[in-house]
Amino acid sequence: MNIAIASGKGGTGKTLFATNFQYVLHQQGFAATLVDCDAEEPNANIFFKGKLKHQKNTQLWVPVIDEKKCTYCGLCSDYCNYNALFILPERKTIKVLEDLCHGCGACLYACTDNAITEKSINIGQVCTYINSKGAILIEAKMKVGVHSPVQVIKEALKAIDSDKITIIDAPPGTSCPFVQSVGPADFVILITEPTPFGLSDLKQAVETLKIMDKNYGVVINRAGAGNRETYSYLEHEDIPLLMEIPFDKSIAARYAVGQMVAQYKSDWPQKLMNVFNTIKSLGNSSN
Ligand code: SF4
Ligand code: SF4
């Protein structure tokens, strides 16, 4: 079972939930791997406290143009959806903007003059950590200055073992990295907070998941700090409320120093297992 932890915006407590969820599942005897797909700023290992076991660079294949063969026809630029090819035919100038290239290979296919070959560039790493309890964390980390984390996320998700539970800590927002990360999920837990901003971003995430035909439920963090609009929305949309995390300074204090809250809050293990059991029962009822 693959469970993604996501949110429409950053700072809602996604990593707090993902790391504690994995911690409790592991403690209860489930082999649960955590995949940190927040590749622009992965931070799950601060809480996981794992030792690096393996590290692999992620390569992206980008085009190289042979200007001796190029006829400046512009076909490659027309095929490129990412504006990664700059061409001025009248000046006989063509450049690859590597920062914008997604390595899709469409330009190579488009060029009938054999003017394009490819080279690989390093865009990040996938690191595997193991902690003192034997749990595993896979971390996607993109290089500073790289435009898109999608390729690094794809590489990290290759580590998913279908015989185990995988917790995917998805990047915030609802753009390509979010879609890529929740793609393999059987269930998505959306973390939100009961504020107008939180609700607005939650709605966007829900609409995206509807298009992707995913099963999902919601965890409300900082419950009690905002208003009741999020609760009304969940009721109206018939979206399961899986858990509430109270607005509690002691939780923030533990999180701020990299501690696992479930180790200190005696009710957390049971609450997190209830979330897991609810997801399982929702999965069974939808089959
Ligand atoms: S398609 Fe090939 S020949 Fe045409 S502009 Fe691009 S690289 Fe040059
Ligand atoms: S590989 Fe794809 S994204 Fe990169 S320049 Fe070619 S068409 Fe554009």
Q: CB under 8 Å to 126, separation ≥6 — which residues?
A: 55, 56, 58, 138, 139, 140, 141, 152, 155, 156, 159
| Inter-residue contact 260 to 25 (CB < 8 Å) | no
Write down the residue that tokens 């435009």 correspond to: 147
Tokens of 171: 């990047």
Among protein residues, the one with the nearest Cα to ligand 2's atom 4 is 101
The ligand whose atoms approach the alpha carbon of 96 most closely is 2
pLDDT of residue 102: 86
Mutate which of 76, 87, 107, 114 to test ligand 1's pocket (most atoms within 8 Å of Cβ)? 76
Instruction: Please say if the pLDDT value at position 233 is more than 60.
Output: yes
Mutate which of 64, 77, 90, 111 to test ligand 1's pocket (most atoms within 8 Å of Cβ)? 111
The yes/no answer on whether domain 2-58+124-286 falls in CATH 3.40.50.300 is yes
Distance 62 CA to ligand 2 centre (A): 7
Pick the more confident residue, 224 or 129: 129
Long-range contacts of 254-259 (CB under 8 A, 24+ apart): 255/16, 255/47, 258/46, 258/47, 258/49, 259/47
Q: 224 pLDDT band (50/70/90 cuts)?
A: confident
Whole-number mean pLDDT of the chain? 93
Q: 201 pLDDT band (50/70/90 cuts)?
A: very high
Q: 286 pLDDT band (50/70/90 cuts)?
A: low
CATH numeric code, 67-114:
3.30.70.20
What's the pLDDT tens digit per position in 49-97?
A: 999 999 999 999 999 999 999 999 999 999 999 999 999 999 999 999 9
Work out which ligand 2 atom sits closest to the CA atom of 61: 1
**Residue from 236, 237, 244, 170 nearest 210 by CA:** 237
Mean pLDDT of 37-55: 95
Mutate which of 60, 61, 62 to test ligand 2's pocket (most atoms within 8 Å of Cβ)? 62
pLDDT of residue 205: 95
pLDDT of residue 226: 77
Pick the more confident residue, 226 or 166: 166
Ligand 1 pocket check for 110: Cβ under 6 Å: yes
Work out which ligand 1 atom sits closest to the CA atom of 71: 3
Distance 107 CA to ligand 2 centre (A): 6
**Calculated CA dihedral for residues 206, 211, 216, 218, nearest 10 degrees:** 0
Which of 7-11, 83-87, 188-192, 236-240 has the lowest average pLDDT?
A: 7-11
Q: What residue spans define the domains of the chain? A: 2-58+124-286, 67-114
**Residue from 256, 166, 175 nearest 9 by CA:** 175
